[in-house]
Amino acid sequence: MSLSFVRRAAMLCAGVVLALTACGSSDDDPSAGGTDTPAPTSAAPSEEPTSDPTTEPPAEPSEPPAETPAETPAAPPAGGSGSPETTDAAITRFETFLHALGAADVPTMCAIAGPAAAQAEADGFGPCESTMAIMAGMVSEEQLTALQTATVDPELVDDSTPSQVTIPIEAVVADASFSEEELGDTVLAYQDGDWFIVD
């Protein structure tokens, strides 16, 4: 989202923070230090292990290093839960984001716009959960309802850059209109087996 919707929401969030302290890191959280100090009643059990050094050697013959190939399943999750590197898949992913925005489904919004939100947070704005909630509050009820069934006109999508798709605001087909400030152009990139909003 070119000076993206996410960043605009983050900027608005920053303004709201000054007034309401609604976004940003939750440093106001008064920690109840009592839970951080567990009573060390295990002093006596710590002496027992010294008397049972024979129990440790049996643990060494563990040949589970053969289980290291189990790390290979890390590749399947990306492809299995992701989507193909096609323009249609990018459009579908963005439509899912629009529907989530319309429903104020912050977890889904963060899952799809994570990279853009992470950049906004690195720039000093609040975490994704806060900026996405603010984003959902930036549009009217009528617009939120329209977003729940919004689609994207594939003819207006720019897929000229490899592994990247730009969806202009004009490509969003909905029963309500949106200004550039409310819903700007969006850039999705193919990363780790799925499409994510990066700007």
pLDDT of residue 8: 53
Burial of 6 (0-12, 13-18, 19+ CB in 10 A): buried
pLDDT tier at 4, thresholds 50, 70, 90: low
The dihedral of CA 53, 55, 56, 57: what is its sign?
positive
Q: Provide the whole-model pTM.
A: 0.64
Give the residues across from 173 on adjacent strands.
151
Task: List pLDDT tens digits, range 57-82.
Answer: 444 444 444 443 333 222 223 334 68
Mean pLDDT of 75-97: 78
Q: Is 69 helix (H, G, I), strand (E, B) or coil?
A: helix
Taking the domains of the chain in order of start, what are their residue ranges?
A: 5-20+82-197
Query: Is residue 121's pLDDT more than 50?
Result: yes
Mean pLDDT of 26-41: 45
